Amino acid sequence: MVILEKWEPIISPAFPSQIPLWISLRGLPLHYWKRELLYSIGDKIGNLKSFELTSSSAKIKSGNQRARANNKRGYHRIRRRKRSPSYLGVP
């Protein structure tokens, strides 16, 4: 979601301070579909509101208040604890 508004020196109280959004986690290996990991990912993005885990998808809802200024790269790296298994030579 993108919000464009004419710049004013004082931010209107009507301007949203939080914008909830759903983030779909495509390509997340099945063995990472765990409650603890989804909470960890949600915490890195912003304020985790809820998550949805089904047999075909994993997504999290975050109410991010602001971009994190302490992260110069603009993203958070999530380190793997285990290496993904390979089957018949396919990574």
Q: How far is Cα 55 from Cα 30, in angstroms, rounded to an integer?
A: 9
Q: How far is Cα 44 from Cα 25, in angstroms, rounded to an integer?
A: 14
Measured CA angle at 63 (ends 60, 69), to 5 deg? 110
Per-residue pLDDT of the chain (91 residues; tens, 9 = 90+): 666 777 777 877 877 777 777 777 778 787 877 888 888 887 787 777 777 777 666 666 665 544 333 444 545 555 555 555 555 555 5
Structure tokens at 11: 């931010």
Given a contact cutoff of 8 angstroms between Cβ atoms, the answer to whether 33 and 52 are in contact is no
3-state secondary structure of 35: helix
3-state secondary structure of 30: helix
